Each structure stands twice: as C-alpha cells, then as structure tokens.
Amino acid sequence: MAKLTFFYDLSSPWTYLAFNNVHEVLEDTNAEVIWRPFLVGGVFNAVNQSVYAARSNPSDPKVIHNFTWLHEWARLAGLPLDFPTEHHPVKSVLPMRACCALEDNQPLLHSFTKAAFDAYFAEGRNIDDPDVVADIADSMGIDGQALVQKTTTQSVKDRLRSNTEEAISKGAYGSPTMIVSEGQLYFGNDQLPLVRQALMTA
C-alpha cells in the first residue's frame, strides 16, 4: 500500500486547503496517510527565511495575487475562508504542541486538526489562545484543559522539535510538505495532482 506522510502547521492557509483536498486523493488511491504536525516557523528559520522578507511588504504584487488565488482555491474547494484576520500571522506553537500530544492517536489527531483548521480559517478564531484550543478539544469530547496542560510537558515539546527537524532533513521548506512512500517530496495544495499520480504508481 502506498503511504503519504503529511507534514503540516495549522497556521498555513494553503495547508488548510490541502488538508481538506487531500482526502479525495487518499480515497482514490487507497493510500495510507500519516499526519505529522511540525512547526513551520522552525522550518522557515532553518532553510527559508525569505518568507519573512516577503511578508514585510504587503503591497508586493506577488503577495496580493497570492491572497487572491488563495480565496479562489477556497471557492473551488467549497471551503469557507475568513482570512486574513487580526490574528494573522498566528503563533502556532501552542496548537502544534496540542497536535503532537494527540499524534499517537491518528484518528483523534485528524479530527482535532480539522476542528482547529475550521476554527482559524473558517471562523476567524485565535488558535494561539489556550482557551480557544481547550474549547476546540472540549467540543470533540477531549478534556481541553488537560490537553493544554500537556502542551507544557517536555516530551510534547521534544516531539514537536523532532518532527520539525525530521521534516527539514527530508527537504521541507514550508507547509504542507507531503512525502510519498518515503521518496518524492511535494509541496502545497496545487501539487495534489502530482501527489495523486505518485501514489498511484508507488
């Protein structure tokens, strides 16, 4: 069976799109998926600091077009998108640690990830707020305060760091980074057709 490793950060709008759109690819290819939370800021700091320079000039035509295309992709996928909000760019350390705390239970991690993506990109909520993270968890039947408390433990901090370092070692430079069967790396929502092709032939 072909396998897709999906490295992601909840702060990325393109990852919000890819996370939702990749499910059709997985169903069509009967591929296994492994959801891997990481910290995209750590990736940027290590290998792609040009991202920060681009953000510093919001009037840059490329930045303007990217936001336009982002909303067009969302409409194409039928996804609500309230972005950017006053929370952008959001600090994602807390929610990504929450994801790492759930990583060993992949179905639960998937459900929390979807709910957190919806909270940030569809509802405009601040996922850097511990109360928001706890509320998202509570809405799924998870003890939200316990989950937030777990994000402060060294083991969860170490897992997020390890996942980020692993992604960098595999060539990641942004989110989402998708790797097919420990081989070819793909990046971004627009490369999902290539991911589909690779999974079909893996």
Over residues 7-31, mean pLDDT: 98
Residues 142, 21: contact at Cβ < 8 Å?
no
81-124 confidence digits (pLDDT tens): 999 999 998 999 999 999 999 999 999 999 999 999 999 999 99
Name the average pLDDT for the chain.
93
- With a pLDDT cut of 90, the percent of the chain lying above it is 85
Alpha carbon distance 158, 41 (integer Å)? 16
The torsion defined by the Cα of 87, 93, 94 and 96, in degrees rounded to 10, comes to 110
> Rounded to the nearest 5°, which phi and psi values hold at 48?
-150, 55
State in words which class domain 3-201 has. Answer: alpha beta
Alpha carbon distance 131, 127 (integer Å)? 9
Alpha carbon distance 154, 4 (integer Å)? 28
CA distances for 192 relative to 79, 124, 152, 176, angstroms: 16, 26, 35, 11
Question: Which carries the bigger pLDDT value, residue 18 or residue 1?
Answer: 18
Alpha carbon distance 121, 82 (integer Å)? 5
Which pTM does this prediction carry? Answer: 0.92
Using pLDDT thresholds of 50, 70 and 90, give the confidence band for residue 65.
Answer: confident
The residues pairing with 6 across neighbouring beta strands, listed in sequence order, are 35, 178
Using pLDDT thresholds of 50, 70 and 90, give the confidence band for residue 52.
Answer: very low
161-181 confidence digits (pLDDT tens): 999 999 999 999 999 999 999
